[in-house]
Structure formats: structure tokens, C-alpha cells
Amino acid sequence: MRLSLKVNGNPRVVAAVDGPGYLSAHLNLCERPKDNDYSKTVRVVGTQTLETETVRFEWPEFDLQVGDTAEVSLLSEGAGDPPSAVRRSSESPHNLFLHTELAREVLSVVSDFESRLMQMLDKSKAIESAEEHKRFALAVVDVVTQLGDSLLSPIYRRHKELVPDGLKGELL
């Protein structure tokens, strides 16, 4: 994937992401009087979703003025300008557990807990009113999402050998 960004006809950046992932340009207009922020910017970001790692690319952000033209063009495959920042999920300071066995044990506990929650969800559907069941289901979704964000993904990022096949190539 490759795109170019021009501002007022002047080339600013050619961004490329090789392989699976995302590449996008963002035009941001901000009006936040409390923060004294009236910015107008354009930027390009990319995400490469490797089998067991996510890599985020950022290119420089450019200020705009009223009347400026920002032009994004889709290009054929090829090289791009180097990004100004690269972050790898495997390097996150939030990754968990040096010891694989402890990581494996936590994954097992989370799996058991999620299984019990799903059983409770079935029980709730059979016993509670539709409205009450819906509230409980939303609470379960919140808990499962938090488990993924706070425990599962931080373990998977450090221990690629524990990533289930179904999650390989997804954002970690």
C-alpha cells in the first residue's frame, strides 16, 4: 500500500506499508476554546499487521491554513519516505511476564473465567427479563474487552508462541 500527500501542490510525503495492514491520511480540524486549540493539520499513519506483531508508522504532521488544499493520491506498490516514528507492539512497556509458564497460567485462568461468564450469560438469558439480560450482557462485554486489553494482548505481544492461530495477523 502506498499513497502520496501534497499540500497546495507541494509534495509532502510518500507513505508505504508493506504487507497486510492499514494506511490512512487524516485531515484534522480542531476547535477547542478551553484548550486554546484551533489547529488544522493533515497527517499520514500506517499499521502493519504481521503474524504476531503490530507495527505502527507515523509520518510528519503538517499545519494547514484556511484555503489550503490537501491532496491524497493512491499510488502503485513501491518505496515510501521513511516514517518519523515506528512503534512495535513487541516493544510496548505494558507487555507482561518474562516467564512463559506464568503467562500460560494467566491465560488459562482468563479462559476459565470467560467460560464461566458465558455460562452465566446463558443463565441470565433464561431467568432474567430481556432488559436485565441486555444490561448484564453489556457488562460482560466490558469485562471481556478489559481482560483482552489488560491481560491477553500484553501477554501475546511478549509471548508470540502463545498467540492463538485465530488472532495471528490481528492488531495486538
Q: Is the pLDDT of residue 168 over 90?
A: no
Residue 132, all three cell numbers? 436485565
The single residue listed with the C-alpha cell 493533515 is 42
Query: What mean pLDDT is predicted for residues 75-87?
Result: 96
Q: How far is CA 57 from CA 21, 117, 123, 152, 160, in A?
A: 11, 37, 45, 23, 21
H or E element that contains 104:
helix 100-127
pLDDT score at 94: 85
pLDDT score at 18: 93
pLDDT score at 162: 92
Report d(CA 27, CA 30) in Å as an integer.
10
Length of the chain: 172
CA 70 from centroid of its chain's CA atoms: 25
Q: What is the pTM of this model?
A: 0.69
